[in-house]
Structure 1
Amino acid sequence: MRNLIKPFLAIGLALMATSTFAQNSKPKLIVGIMVDQMRYDYLERFRYNYGDGGFKELTDNGFVCRNGHYDYAATATGPGHISVYSGTYPAHHGIVGNSFFDRSQDHTVYCVSDDNYNTVGADSKGGKMSPHRVQVSTLTDEIKLASNMRSKVISISLKDRSSVLPAGHIADGAFWLDDATGNWISSTFYMDKLPEWVEKANKERKVDEYMKSVWEPALPLEKYEASLKDNNPYEGKFKGEEAPVFPHDLDKIDKSNRVAKSVGKRYSMIKSTPFGNTMVKDMAKKAIEAEGLGKDDITDLLAISFSSTDYVGHQYGPTAIETEDTYIKLDRDLADLISYLDKEVGEGNYLIFLSADHAGANVPAYMESLKVPAGYFDSKAVTERLDQYLDQEYGEADWIKSHHSAKVYLNREAIKEKKIDLAEIQEKVADKLVEEPEIKDALTGKQLEKYDYSRDYKMLIQNAYNRQNSPDVYGILHSNYMDYSRTGTSHGTPYAYDTHVPILFYGWRVKAGETVKRQTITEIAPTVSAFLHINMPSGCYSNPIEVPLK
């Protein structure tokens, strides 16, 4: 009798295992998390102050790429977000910067601005946005297409571009914070009216509570061992604040600015505090509940971008207590979000991928103090010298249409009018640029079109070169040089401090582990596409990362 039972028992167990596998063969919810300006080293540098449920949970129980990089230069928020979600780089998707010179319109354009659409949720211009400049499909597009539009795609960020670009072209909703009103808004590209849950969030006015609050450190100041002392000479401060020191009284700063009539977009201040990230986390939870994300077997996607880390990084730099404190508080927000996902979607039913849109440089002034070669570049002065040089060579004209951080757009109309060979004038500008002591090298558009670079910074620049939207001459500053103020930091170079970012996968069937193999952010979208057995985004030429599954 026992011999008869054993085969049936084995078959039963196999069926149960098959049933469990079938239920988990695809995650019910993908949660894409982008942490703006997050350097890879923040995972480890601040680990001693992290709790157990946030970054530690993701790294200890997820799959971590220790050597994850951007595979193009000119790292910035707009290009970074669309590169992750399209699985390709600016050469193919076309978003070469947050803003760039549009030759067809003869002026600089913002990467997601679109006057064909209007704001939903506020009486402002903050919603005149769409992804119309993106030249390829996205992971979010492909998820919608694969499900015959039954999947839901929602995107949330403080920044418009960080919400619009991950959302792709056919999302159910993209939402961001309006600097002028403090409302969560969208664009008529997506909808004519805000969903009820977003309108309810706007009526709650949590943003006003945060604007009246005080940014206090999470821990005693002596616990921030990975940072310089409070009030060091390399960090900036809020407008209206006497010194960059804790506590930061936001209500006092806001009132001071209003008295001085320098309010501008007053709610932008909240973005430069950890409160901004908490607001995004809370909106993400509201979206999961209200939209029913992850509640059936059709995979949904929630794109979240935490932008406060970028604003804080720009203002204070990577060695400031404020920056470390922002990551400690983001760690707590992530722990809360993971706990919420476990409860609402269920352990094993959701997949998180986490990365960053770029990393960030050390403050050059701080590096100078350590006697490391570093410094600053003056675009305005160099533009004047270049213009004078070209006047001498070719006669007077308005030769330079746009120039920033050694990236030069030339006046193509004047070049045609004077019958000058474009390759020749590009080469002359490149040669003149490298005479500047802050510039390491310069590549021309014609070189990037003609030659196939396969290594180092030249390859990264070629990956960023889009024939329609990129500059005529691409200058490369020396390491630790930047076109920026002497406090705080920026990004946008081909150096490891800008390209090295976290890439990790967590949840669903992902086995804990790590790799030190060089992986790139354009491999994230094909990895998720492979998990879901769907088409990769149209411009994707990268292979999936070999993430071990259970």
Structure 2
Amino acid sequence: MRRWIPCLVLTAAAGCASAPPQTQPSTRPSLVVVIVVDQMRTDYIERGLPHFTGGLRRLATEGTWFRDAAYPYLNTVTCAGHSTIGTGSLPYRHGMVLNAWWDRETGRSRPCTSDGTVRNIGYSGKAAGGDSARSLLVPTLAEALRRETGGRTVALSLKSRSSIPLVGRSATAIAWFDELTGWTTSTAYAPTKLPWLDRYFAANPVKADAGRTWERLLSPSHYEGVDDGTGERFPQGWTQTFPHVLATTVPPFTAQWQRSPFADEYLGKLAGAAVNSFGLGRGKGVDFLAVSFSTLDLVGHQFGPASHEVQDVVLRLDRTIGALLDHLDKTVGRGRYVVALSADHGVGSLTEQYAGAGRQGGTESLAAINGALAPFFGEGKYAVHSAYTDLYVAPGVLRKLEANPNAAAAVLAALKKLPALAHAFYASEIAAPEARQASDPVRRAAALSYHPERSGDIIVVPRPGWMLSTTSAATHGTLYTHDQQVPVIFYGPGVAAGVRGGAATPADIAPTLGALVGVPFAAPDGRPLVTLTADK
């Protein structure tokens, strides 16, 4: 008789020696649940834990929490992070290096999930464009579960670049929210709207939240800091301080709704409805449910990580996740599902709250390159695009620089003179595979984010506290701890409660979940933090 004995360990090498023998055969979990909280830093859980009463408390105290988990790469952005969680691979391998990269063939910025061969379908109106996982270069755990067990796979989020990389090229159901057209899917996954989703959205319109007031969940004394921090920005029609009243008209309403905890509540209930509609966790295969909560990211970009708004979103998300877990207990059964919780990246503090820091837009970097090359080649547009840390030059410029070392050196010298930049180097310095094991942490992190067809020609890294953006109050996308360190928590049968130290990354999530449900998943950049042994 074969029985699965799961044991959560610090490293794969530690094995399962301490696992107690089981006297009865165990049934493997029938549902994998991946919860991603966009922009959640590890310290958000530490800060909020005394006030949590719901799902975040349950996961953090009853699951195994790898407190030191962090992304090892430079481009800590949404598409890269969700792709790493979904595939167990890092950006250099899965290819989703940025939220949008410069397409050298078309001369335009290309969103990571953009696909001109498919068409988006709006549930409440005509949707624009097309989105799919066509640019994702490696398979996902969700695809493996569907292929190996016949399981159903569902992904839900406010963002296409969050939901799509978690499931991959195929899914039983997928939906995201477009600010202009509402809930959306794609012909990459279904030729028409799914009837149950169509009915759900019609019966539960987002606009029902119009006019609602977002007030702090707890009394103001429970929140750290002030409610009107220096540097905070806010959606149209709102102020820096509570309460925040949602507009009754579009467009202000949809922008505000996504930046309110009401969007998280809606998404949590939608996930519960998906469990009911598909009978997730109650079939013969191992089903997969991914829910990516985006509100924290949208709020964090505008109010910053120390704001009362961010603190309140996390407090309320604790309850939203708790309600979802309670629903799974009732419908699937406690002990019949496994959960992984993580984030796609963290976030830095407001620049205005750093001494000696500031903001710099991408145009300054492009101007520095063009100015440096003018004495060598004449006035011209040699640099064509900036994608935060990735700078792209026009066709033929790299060949000119290779032939003129003085011009190449002048470009880097000009960039390093900019007050915002700590490092600047050519992508050719990190293109070789050995760069991914470089002793220099900056070069190593950049190499792990580098894909030759999609990454920039020149890589820059901002100084601590500096932002390469003038539009957000706070942002991410660097190799600093506040951007890289995120929670990695596992919960479910065979997962012991406790906090673990040691190395772990979100790339370990997919292989760990695969091991927990008995479906080995090869993830070259991740490893199972759970070891399964077969006892005959």
Q: TM-score, normalised by structure 2?
A: 0.90
**1:342-357 equivalence runs, <5 A:** 342-357=329-344
SS in 2 for 1:185: strand
CA distance 1:462–1:43, shift in 2 (3 Å) = same
**1:366-445 equivalence runs, <5 A:** 366-368=353-355, 373-416=356-399, 420-421=402-403, 427-445=409-427
Does structure 1 retain, via aligned residues, the 8 Å contact 2:170–2:188? no
Give the alignment partner of residue 457 of structure 1, picking from 424, 442, 445: 442
CA distance 1:185–1:432, shift in 2 (3 Å) = same
Q: Tell me if 1:207 matches 2:192.
A: no
Q: CA–CA distance in 1 between the matches of 2:424 and 2:360? A: 15
Q: Tell me if 1:33 matches 2:18.
A: no
Q: CA–CA distance in 2 between the matches of 1:178 and 1:122? A: 10
CA distance 1:510–1:535, shift in 2 (3 Å) = closer
Q: What runs of 5+ residues in structure 1 fail to find an aligned partner?
A: 1-14
Does structure 1 retain, via aligned residues, the 8 Å contact 2:30–2:517? no
CA distance 1:197–1:484, shift in 2 (3 Å) = same
Which residue does the alignment assign to 2:177?
177
Q: Which amino acid aligns with 2:24?
A: T
**1:495-534 equivalence runs, <5 A:** 495-534=480-519
Residue 37 (structure 1) shift:
0.2
**1:108-119 equivalence runs, <5 A:** 108-119=109-120
CA distance 1:541–1:249, shift in 2 (3 Å) = closer
Question: C-alpha offsets along residues 203-234 of structure 1, whole Å, 9 cap, x if unaligned?
Answer: 1243111122111111121221x2x2222322
Q: CA–CA distance in 2 between the matches of 1:176 and 1:513? A: 34
CA distance 1:137–1:421, shift in 2 (3 Å) = farther
Residue 401 (structure 1) shift:
1.7
Which residue does the alignment assign to 1:9?
none
Which residue does the alignment assign to 2:12?
none
Q: Tell me if 1:132 matches 2:134.
A: yes
Q: CA–CA distance in 2 between the matches of 1:128 and 1:270? A: 24
Which residue does the alignment assign to 1:155?
155
Does structure 1 retain, via aligned residues, the 8 Å contact 2:116–2:129? no
SS in 1 for 2:340: strand
Q: CA–CA distance in 1 between the matches of 2:405 and 2:444? A: 20
Residue 239 (structure 1) shift:
1.0
Which residue does the alignment assign to 2:188?
189
Residue 548 (structure 1) shift:
9.5
Does structure 1 retain, via aligned residues, the 8 Å contact 2:153–2:173? yes
**Superposition CA RMSD, Å:** 2.4
Residue 275 (structure 1) shift:
0.7
Does structure 2 retain, via aligned residues, the 8 Å contact 1:348–1:508? yes
Residue 514 (structure 1) shift:
2.0
Q: CA–CA distance in 2 between the matches of 1:63 and 1:71? A: 21
CA distance 1:93–1:16, shift in 2 (3 Å) = closer
CA distance 1:385–1:154, shift in 2 (3 Å) = same
Q: Tell me if 1:544 matches 2:528.
A: yes
Does structure 2 retain, via aligned residues, the 8 Å contact 1:54–1:332? yes
Q: Tell me if 1:102 matches 2:103.
A: yes
Which residue does the alignment assign to 2:88?
87
Residue 270 (structure 1) shift:
1.1
Q: Tell me if 1:42 matches 2:29.
A: no
Residue 300 (structure 1) shift:
0.4
Say which one has the larger Rg.
1
Does structure 2 retain, via aligned residues, the 8 Å contact 1:197–1:286? no
Question: C-alpha offsets along residues 329-352 of structure 1, whole Å, 9 cap, x if unaligned?
Answer: 100001111111111110110000
Which residue does the alignment assign to 2:297?
310
Percent identity, aligned pairs only, is 28
Q: CA–CA distance in 1 between the matches of 2:175 and 2:370? A: 42
Residue 486 (structure 1) shift:
8.1
Q: TM-score, normalised by structure 1?
A: 0.88
Q: CA–CA distance in 1 between the matches of 2:209 and 2:409? A: 52
Q: CA–CA distance in 2 between the matches of 1:548 and 1:333? A: 32
Q: CA–CA distance in 2 between the matches of 1:166 and 1:36? A: 13
Q: Which amino acid aligns with 2:469?
A: Y
**1:480-491 equivalence runs, <5 A:** 480-485=465-470, 488-491=473-476
SS in 2 for 1:276: helix
SS in 1 for 2:155: strand
CA distance 1:406–1:29, shift in 2 (3 Å) = closer
Residue 519 (structure 1) shift:
0.8
Q: CA–CA distance in 1 between the matches of 2:132 and 2:169? A: 8
Q: What is the aligned residue count?
A: 511
Residue 174 (structure 1) shift:
1.2
Does structure 2 retain, via aligned residues, the 8 Å contact 1:402–1:409? yes
Q: CA–CA distance in 1 between the matches of 2:352 and 2:60? A: 33
Q: Tell me if 1:55 matches 2:56.
A: yes
Q: CA–CA distance in 1 between the matches of 2:375 and 2:480? A: 35
Which residue does the alignment assign to 1:246?
242
Question: C-alpha offsets along residues 232-290 of structure 1, whole Å, 9 cap, x if unaligned?
Answer: 3221122123x211111112xx54xx6xxxx38x5232111111111110110000000
SS in 1 for 2:272: helix
> Greater shift after overlay, 465-474 or 186-195?
186-195
Does structure 2 retain, via aligned residues, the 8 Å contact 1:54–1:331? yes
Does structure 2 retain, via aligned residues, the 8 Å contact 1:426–1:472? no
Which residue does the alignment assign to 1:448?
430
Give the alignment partner of residue 279 of structure 2, picking from 292, 301, 313: 292
CA distance 1:462–1:341, shift in 2 (3 Å) = same
SS in 1 for 2:423: strand
Does structure 2 retain, via aligned residues, the 8 Å contact 1:238–1:244? no
Q: Which amino acid aligns with 2:488?
A: I
Which residue does the alignment assign to 2:14?
none
Does structure 1 retain, via aligned residues, the 8 Å contact 2:368–2:414? no
Q: CA–CA distance in 2 between the matches of 1:305 and 1:219? A: 25
Q: CA–CA distance in 2 between the matches of 1:229 and 1:547? A: 46
Question: C-alpha offsets along residues 79-98 of structure 1, whole Å, 9 cap, x if unaligned?
Answer: 11001111111111111111
Q: Which amino acid aligns with 1:130?
A: S
SS in 1 for 2:33: strand
Q: What runs of 5+ residues in structure 2 fail to find an aligned partner?
A: 1-20
